[in-house]
């Protein structure tokens, strides 16, 4: 029998069993809270032919020393909120089902805030209340009444969340495991997985088993839940999971009189700390702003129940700040100083879903120190995903296919992990960004953007200019919720595009060439619109899954027969490539295809505005008149003596052109466009203007306004569906059924407010006649239409129709302030598309 210590409590482990079955339908790798939860939920999905393999003992990775907080509060993500609330509510059901305690105590949470964090959390509270999470804004005095062990200096208020609390991670994991075993799942300890076995298909590999220290197991699905080992295991099969272990610290004091397990969890992000009762003393956890990665070159295979020496020299200032919030902790002495590893991803979001290159290889890792409090929800999501192919929740931006090889570099992981952990308890106002490991990719015209005074942000590893301070100026900005000095530059760029002409650099967009005799038929099968028509035409379209959810939002240009250009956003690159690769294999009977990415080889410049034709006409001998060059036409022509693919298309709602050019020629073309446009009022324009312009037009942005859970009809994109296309498209029956049903019960609509202040961002709740009916997916300033502008999903049992919108009185709850709003199925700016099509 083995033993280990968790919070000073001796826990007895069962002796390992190494009798391997020859096959199973699903093999789960990792016996922490995530792996056991997936096993439990797979069994409840009816999949009991499951083997969970743990290299040592259940919980021996990071689960055993987790702090056990169960907090659902504090974010504006519907997926995160749903996952946390489900996890919290599962605990009592799990105890009743298994007869095992999870240690869950609904003692409540006090979130204590200074001025810099108050608006962020107030907005989160409003958003989450609509989803059913109870919270109450409280004063410093009320917080002191709830948790009398903390002093309130520097705090302006906070939130009381009565249903949040704490759980015992070891007990919870054992309850998941027992629940899974009771339903037929086999759990084997002391078995190390060496690699996933795959076979090569026509395009992709497929997981067919695992090689272990005790032999091979054949299977259909593998789930990598190896925690801080997930990266190392993934690399053996070429799967990129760039999570990295980091030091995470807490201490436990000696006994404090009056402190009981019924006292709430107390969080004070401004002091880097969380506080709760533990064994009669107080656990004081620390998320320091200057963190440290651990074991960059690989977690030892035999690391179990690992504790790391407490680096007091580095941590002393942070410990001092954290303890200042609870003076009583310094008077009773410290029982335990503890440091243990937790793993973090480069963007502080989990790595989940099917690996892009290997079918049947799923990942659920990199939980960024919230694995316990999301374990139930992720278990349910992953089980449903494996069982049906559908995650059932919005996973855009979370899937493992978003990662790139360069993120595995130890230097990147070291710097970025320290920064992301350090941001855990930081304030997160709009404009906050990460600064380590920047500039992995730069546009071919990056030096021109710098010379124009560009202010840059990270765009999926690229440097993208948000706005321009002007030629020769150095741009600077501070994050903040209110109007900023640089807004004048943003507004000027927006107006230039509406009134004259603007030049955008969109070189970060994903660019793919699909060629071969089956290319047209394959894209027709995937695309809602007809894309294999005449050569020299671009088409805006979506790709759907079989349940009708939107998997991609992109443009396809038929360059020539059997030659297509697919362009999607930067943040959906991995998803689009993975979806296309799976389709190439599934529909191979349609004909051979070859897929090549040309993102870095070609620059994409976008010339937009009513004077864009005048600028282009100066630089090309081609006839660019409206009669000769219609909306959506795409041709190879010479522009300023440079071979360029010119496409008449827009994402801002004006006459405009996208120019695709070889990387080596991009700077010369950029210079020529600015010079020719000088007489026409041209301005370099950035991503802030792109966002405000497209929201005035009601143009969608996948992974922001729409996601994989949204339907074509609900997203207002049914106009892209060619229901008469020979052979149809994936998901066509769902679209037909939705159209036949009438007005959808959930619909994306345009929103305007009468004034620019307060500013709109994301997550603001929409009220109809005082009742919450939705929330804003994206918000901005409508520099042309006046006031605020955005896109919101709203819900109505009887259908979101024009009549329903016109018969109600709408408001937005913006940081607790009701703001009158107008909702419409039509875009606020040029709803008839005259400026786009008739120019």
Model pLDDT for residues 673-687, shown as the tens digit of each residue: 999 999 999 999 999
In whole angstroms, give the CA distance from residue 555 to residue 112.
Answer: 47
Average pLDDT over residues 730-757: 98
Alpha carbon distance 351, 395 (integer Å): 10
pLDDT at 408 exceeding the cut of 70: yes
In whole angstroms, what is the distance from residue 377 CA to residue 505 CA?
Answer: 40
Determine the pLDDT at residue 838: 84
Cross-strand bridge partners of residue 361: 222
Sign of torsion, CA 537 541 543 547? negative
Nearest to 84 by CA among 71, 65, 99: 71
Strands (E), 578-641: 594-597, 602-608, 634-639
For a pLDDT cut of 70, what percent of the chain falls above it? 98
> pLDDT at residue 417 above 60?
yes
Return the biggest CA–CA distance within the chain. Answer: 86
What is the phi/psi pair of residue 540, to 5°? -85, 130
| CA-based nearest residue to 619, from 565, 654, 661, 650 | 661
Q: Which residues lie closer than 8 Å to 259 by C-beta, 6 or more apart?
A: 149, 277, 280, 281, 282
pLDDT of 608-664, one tens digit each? 999 999 999 999 999 999 999 999 999 999 999 999 999 999 999 999 999 999 999
Helix (H) or strand (E) run with residue 553 in it:
strand 550-560
Rounded to the nearest 5 degrees, what angle is found at the Cα of 429, between the Cα atoms of 424 and 430?
120
CB 366 within 8 A of CB 347: no
Written as six digits, the tokens of 793 are 């999903």
Backbone phi, psi, residue 484, to 5°? -120, 155
Q: What angle do CA 746, 429, 458 make, to 5 degrees?
A: 85
Percent of the chain with pLDDT over 90: 97
| Number of continuous H segments (helices) and E segments (strands) in the chain | 20, 41
* Residues linked to residue 4 through DSSP beta bridges, in sequence order: 11
Q: What are phi and psi of 383, to 5 degrees?
A: -65, -45
Strand ranges, E, within 629-710: 634-639, 642-648, 656-662, 682-684
Taking only the tens place, the pLDDT of each residue in 568-600 is: 999 999 999 999 999 999 999 999 999 999 999
What is the model's pLDDT at position 178? 98
| Closest listed residue to residue 191, CA positions, set 19, 64, 22 | 19
DSSP state of 441: B
* Residues 790, 750: Cα–Cα separation, whole Å: 6
3 — pLDDT class (breaks 50, 70, 90): very low
Distances in whole angstroms, Cα of residue 83 to Cα of each of 22, 360, 646: 34, 23, 45
Element (H, E) at 300: none
| Structure tokens, 673 | 């466009």
> In what order do the strands lie in the sheet containing 109-113?
136-138, 157-161, 109-113, 265-268, 273-278, 281-286, 244-253, 334-344
Are 243 and 366 in contact by the 8 Å Cβ rule? The answer is yes
Pairing of strands 788-795, 771-781: antiparallel
Q: Report whether 35 contacts 52 (CB < 8 A).
A: yes
For residue 368, pLDDT over 60 is answered with yes
Element (H, E) at 773: strand 771-781
3-state secondary structure of 92: helix
Note the pLDDT tens digit of each residue in 754-784: 999 999 999 999 999 999 999 999 999 999 9
pLDDT class of 161 with cuts at 50, 70, 90: very high
pLDDT at 810 > cutoff 80: yes
Q: Are 29 and 166 in contact (CB under 8 A)?
A: no
Residues 264/147, Cβ–Cβ less than 8 Å: yes
Long-range CB pairs of 626-634 (<8 Å, 24+ gap) are 626/838, 626/839, 631/836, 631/837, 632/537, 632/538, 632/539, 633/536, 633/537, 633/538, 634/536, 634/537, 634/538, 634/557, 634/559
Please check the confidence at residue 15 and state whether its pLDDT lies above 50. no
Q: How many Cα atoms sit within 13 Å of 182 on the Cβ side?
A: 14
Q: Look at residue 10 and tell me whether its pLDDT is greater than 50.
A: no
Structure tokens at 361: 């290889």
Query: Phi/psi of residue 630, each to 5°?
Result: -80, 165
| Mean pLDDT within 536-553 | 97
Query: CB of 474 within 8 A of CB of 452?
Result: no
Give me the DSSP letters along 204-217. Answer: SEEEEEEEETTEEE
Beta strands in 143-237 (DSSP E): 157-161, 165-166, 186-189, 193-200, 205-212, 215-218, 221-224
Distance between CA atoms of residues 139 and 399, nearest Å = 39
Does the pLDDT value for residue 464 go beyond 50?
A: yes
Q: Share the mean pLDDT of the chain.
A: 96
Contact 709, 519 (CB under 8 A): no
> Where do the domains of the chain lie, and which CATH numbers do they carry?
17-64+170-243+347-402 (3.50.50.60), 510-597 (3.30.70.1400), 742-839 (2.40.30.110)
DSSP state of 229: G
* Cα–Cα separations (whole angstroms), residue 288 to 19, 249, 582, 722, 769: 44, 9, 42, 54, 44
Within 8 A by CB and 6+ apart from 341, the residues are 62, 228, 245, 246, 247, 248, 294, 295, 299, 306, 308
The tens digit of pLDDT for each residue in 477-534 reads 999 999 999 999 999 999 999 999 999 999 999 999 999 999 999 999 999 999 999 9
Band of pLDDT at residue 11, cut at 50, 70 and 90: very low
226 is written with which tokens?
């190896």
In this prediction the pTM is 0.96
3-class DSSP state of 274: strand
Q: In this structure, are residues 246 and 55 in contact, taking their beta carbons and an 8 Å threshold?
A: no
CB 56, CB 15: distance < 8 Å: no
Q: Residue 814 region, left (φ>0) first, then alpha (ψ -120 to 50), else beta?
A: beta
Q: Which of 4-13, 405-414, 442-451, 819-828 has the lowest mean pLDDT?
A: 4-13
pLDDT computed for residue 18 by the predictor: 57
**What is the DSSP secondary structure assignment for residue 111, as one 8-state letter?**
E
The answer on pLDDT for 5 being more than 80 is no
The bridge status of strand 165-166 relative to strand 69-70 is: antiparallel
Q: How many CB atoms lie within 10 A of CB 601?
A: 13
**77-132: pLDDT as tens digits:** 999 999 999 999 999 999 999 999 999 999 999 999 999 999 999 999 999 999 99
| Tally of CA atoms within 13 A in the half-sphere of 74 that contains its CB | 25
Residue with token string 């769902």: 734
**What per-residue confidence (pLDDT) applies to 611?**
98
Q: Is the pLDDT of residue 6 over 50?
A: no
Closest CA to 526 of 597, 570, 587: 587
Whether the pLDDT of residue 14 is over 60: the answer is: no
Which two tokens mark 97? 């089902």
């Amino acid at each position: 029998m083995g033993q280990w210590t968790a919070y000073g409590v001796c826990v007895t482990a069962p002796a390992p069993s190494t009798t391997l079955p020859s096959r199973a339908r699903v093999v789960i790798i990792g016996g922490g809270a995530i792996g056991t939860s997936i096993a439990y939920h797979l069994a409840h999905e009816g999949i009991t032919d499951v083997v969970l393999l743990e290299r040592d003992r259940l919980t021996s990775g990071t689960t055993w020393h987790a702090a056990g907080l169960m907090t659902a509060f504090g974010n504006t993500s519907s997926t995160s909120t749903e996952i946390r609330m489900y996890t919290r509510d599962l605990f009592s059901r799990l105890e009743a089902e298994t007869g095992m305690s999870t240690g869950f105590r609904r003692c409540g949470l006090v979130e204590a805030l200074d001025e810099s964090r108050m608006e962020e959390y107030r907005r989160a509270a409003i958003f989450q209340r609509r989803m059913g999470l109870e919270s109450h804004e409280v004063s410093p005095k009320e917080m002191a009444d709830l948790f009398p062990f903390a002093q309130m200096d520097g705090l302006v208020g906070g939130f009381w969340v009565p249903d949040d609390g704490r759980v015992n991670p070891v007990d919870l994991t054992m309850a998941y495991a027992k629940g899974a075993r009771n339903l037929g799942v086999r759990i084997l300890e002391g078995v190390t997985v060496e690699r996933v076995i795959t076979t090569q298909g026509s395009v992709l590999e497929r997981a067919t088993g695992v090689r272990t220290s005790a032999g091979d197991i054949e299977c259909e699905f593998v789930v990598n839940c190896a925690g801080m080992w997930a990266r190392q295991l993934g690399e053996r099969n070429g799967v990129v999971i760039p999570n990295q272990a980091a030091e995470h610290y807490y201490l436990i004091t000696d006994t404090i009189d009056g402190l009981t397990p019924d006292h709430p969890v107390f969080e004070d992000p401004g002091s880097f700390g969380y506080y709760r009762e533990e064994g009669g003393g107080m656990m004081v956890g620390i998320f320091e702003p200057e963190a440290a990665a651990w074991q960059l070159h690989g977690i030892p295979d035999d690391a179990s129940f690992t504790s790391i020496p407490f680096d007091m020299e580095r941590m002393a200032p942070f410990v001092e700040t954290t303890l200042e919030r609870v003076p009583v902790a310094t008077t009773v002495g410290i029982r335990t100083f503890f440091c243990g590893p937790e793993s973090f991803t480069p963007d502080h979001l989990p790595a989940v879903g099917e690996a892009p290159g290997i079918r049947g290889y799923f990942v659920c890792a990199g939980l960024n120190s919230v694995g316990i409090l999301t374990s139930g929800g992720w278990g349910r999501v992953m089980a449903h995903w494996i069982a049906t192919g559908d995650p059932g929740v919005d996973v855009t931006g979370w899937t493992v296919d978003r990662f790139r090889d360069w993120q595995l570099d130890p230097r990147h992981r070291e710097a970025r992990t320290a920064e992301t952990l350090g941001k855990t308890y930081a304030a997160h106002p709009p404009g906050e960004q990460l600064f380590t490991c920047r500039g992995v990719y730069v546009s071919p015209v990056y030096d021109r953007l710098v010379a124009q005074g560009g202010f840059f942000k990270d765009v999926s590893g690229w440097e993208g200019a948000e706005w321009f301070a002007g030629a020769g100026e150095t741009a600077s900005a501070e994050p903040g919720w209110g109007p900023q000095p640089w807004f004048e530059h943003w507004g000027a760029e927006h107006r230039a595009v509406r009134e004259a002409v603007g030049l955008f650099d969109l070189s970060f967009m994903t660019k793919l060439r699909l060629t071969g005799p089956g290319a047209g038929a394959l894209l027709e099968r995937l695309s809602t619109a007809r894309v294999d028509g005449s050569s020299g035409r671009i088409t805006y379209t979506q790709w759907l899954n079989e349940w009708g959810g939107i998997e991609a939002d992109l443009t396809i240009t038929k360059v020539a027969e059997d030659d297509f250009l697919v362009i999607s956003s930067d943040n959906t690159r991995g998803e689009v490539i993975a979806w296309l690769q799976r389709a190439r294999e599934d529909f191979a009977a349609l004909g051979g295809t070859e897929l090549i990415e040309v993102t870095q080889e070609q620059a994409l410049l976008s010339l937009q505005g009513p004077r864009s034709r005048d600028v282009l006409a100066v630089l090309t001998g081609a006839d660019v008149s409206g009669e000769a060059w219609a909306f959506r036409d795409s041709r190879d022509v010479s522009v300023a003596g440079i071979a360029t693919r010119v496409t008449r298309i827009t994402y801002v709602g004006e006459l405009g052109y996208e120019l695709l050019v070889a990387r080596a020629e991009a700077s010369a073309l950029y210079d020529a466009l600015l010079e020719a446009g000088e007489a026409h009022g041209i301005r370099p324009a950035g991503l802030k203007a792109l966002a405000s312009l497209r929201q005035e037009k009601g143009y969608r942005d996948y992974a922001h306004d729409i996601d994989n859970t949204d339907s074509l009809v609900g997203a207002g994109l049914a106009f892209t569906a060619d229901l008469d296309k020979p052979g149809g498209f994936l998901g066509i029956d769902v679209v037909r059924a939705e159209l036949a049903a009438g007005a959808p019960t959930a619909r994306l609509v345009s929103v305007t407010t009468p004034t620019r202040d307060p500013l709109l961002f994301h997550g603001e709740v929409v009220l109809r006649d005082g009742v919450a009916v939705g929330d804003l997916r994206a918000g901005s300033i409508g520099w042309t239409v006046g006031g605020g502008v955005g896109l919101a999903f709203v819900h109505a049992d009887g259908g979101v129709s024009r009549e329903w919108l016109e018969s109600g009185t709408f408001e937005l709850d913006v940081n607790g302030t009701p703001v009158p709003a107008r909702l419409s199925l039509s875009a606020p700016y040029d709803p008839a598309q005259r400026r786009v099509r008739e120019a």
